[in-house]
Structure 1
Amino acid sequence: MSVLVAIAITTGILSGIWGWVAVSLGLLSWAGFLGCTTYFASPKDGLKGVGLSIATNLSGVFWAMVILKLSSEFSLEIIGYIVTAVVAFFMCVQAKQTWLNFIPGTFIGSCATFAANGDWQLVVPSLLLGVVFGYCMKSSGLWLKEKLDVTPKALSAADDAQ
């Protein structure tokens, strides 16, 4: 079995479970999938990938709230565009920090916040659990591949035993 098929199997199963968990807890299932996507796209694997995904998603939520708050303070629409431009600059520049160097994760967190009309209290747990589910999807897929992979050495040893 290929790694892709193994991860696809566990991702399919855990996606269904995530949908149920999200509804049961009153979370945004789509935002959880964004958190999951952040983990899968992260340049880091394992717990470092989880940390990087969470840090960048949360920074994106923060920056979105800055844009929403500052834009609402002014009645001129152009001010909102200027605020967005300046904040987007900072969203990219923060990537100088190693723990914030995954710019897409920042923009994913920001976009989720905009899509939820600034309801960061709902977005944050949805993203966080989504990242955890992404980690579980990939790691359980790798585990499944390892368990189901029958190497030629193991096969010949089994043949020799017969």
Structure 2
Amino acid sequence: MSALVAISVTTAILSAVWGWVAICFGLLAWAGFLGCTSYFAAPYEGAKGLLISLITNLSGVFWALMIMKGGEYISLDIMAYVLTGVVTLFMCLQAKQSWLAYIPGTFIGSCATFAANGDWKIVVPSLVLGGLFGYTMKRSGLWLHSRFNKIDESAIA
């Protein structure tokens, strides 16, 4: 079994589990899948990739809230767009810090917050648990791949 097939199998199983967990705990399944996707696309592997994706996702939640809350105090639409541009500038500039350098992770957290109308109390656990599920999907798939290959090698010997 290839690593891709093994990761696909564990991802399929754990995606179904995540959907059930999200419903049981009143979380946003789609936001969890964004957290999972953020981990899979992170520039680092393993725990470091998980940490970077989670930190940047959460920073995106913060930046989205800054835009949303700041927009409440602005009466001119054009100024709300200016605020969006300024905050987006900072979302990108934060990448000067290595632990915030995964810009897509920041935008994933921000977009999830906008999609949930600023309800960060549900977005944050959904993103975090989704990221943890993504990590588990990949790790368990790699484990399955290694187990399957050991069985194949012993059958040959």
Specify if TM > 0.5: yes
Q: Which amino acid aligns with 2:21?
A: V
Letter of the 1:64 partner, please give it. A
Report what 2:10 is aligned to: 10
Letter in 1 for 2:91: M
* Coordinate RMSD, CA, aligned: 1.2
Q: Under a length normalisation based on structure 1, what TM-score does the superposition of the two structures give?
A: 0.94
> Cα distance, 1:154 vs. partner?
3.4
C-alpha distance in structure 2 between counterparts of 1:20 and 1:105, whole Å: 24
State how far apart, in whole Å, the 2-side matches of 1:152 and 1:38 are: 33
* Cα distance per residue 1:16-75 (max 9 Å; x no partner): 000000000000000000000000000111110111011000000000000001111111
Name which one, 1 or 2, has greater alpha-carbon Rg. Answer: 1
Q: Match of 1:138, as an amino acid?
A: K
**Match in the other structure for 1:39:** 39
Identity of counterpart residues, as a percentage?
A: 62
Q: Which amino acid aligns with 2:61?
A: V
CA distance in 2 between partners of 1:5 and 1:152 (Å):
15
Corresponding pairs, count: 157
Which residue of 2 is the match for residue 65 of structure 1?
65
Give the gaps of 5 or more residues in structure 2.
none
Look up the equivalent residue of 1:29 and give its one-letter code.
Answer: A
Equivalents in 1 of 2:136, 2:81: separation in Å?
38
TM-aligned CA deviation for residue 152 of structure 1: 7.2
Question: Where in structure 1 are there 5+ consecutive unaligned residues?
Answer: 158-162
Deviations 1:97-130 (A, max 9, x none): 1111100000000000000000001100000000
Q: 1:63-102 maps to which residues of 2 (within 5 A)?
A: 63-102=63-102
Structure 1 pair 150–92 and aligned structure 2 pair: CA distance change class (3 A): same
Residue 151 of structure 1: how far off its partner (Å): 7.6
Supply the AA of the counterpart residue of 1:60: G
CA distance in 2, matches of 1:47, 1:150: 25
Match of 1:105 in 2: 105
Aligned counterparts of 2:145 and 2:99: Cα–Cα separation in 1? 30
TM-score w.r.t. structure 2 length? 0.96
* CA–CA distance in structure 2, aligned partners of residues 17 and 99 of structure 1: 30
List, as ranges, runs of 4+ consecutive aligned residues in structure 1 with deviation greater than 6 Å: none
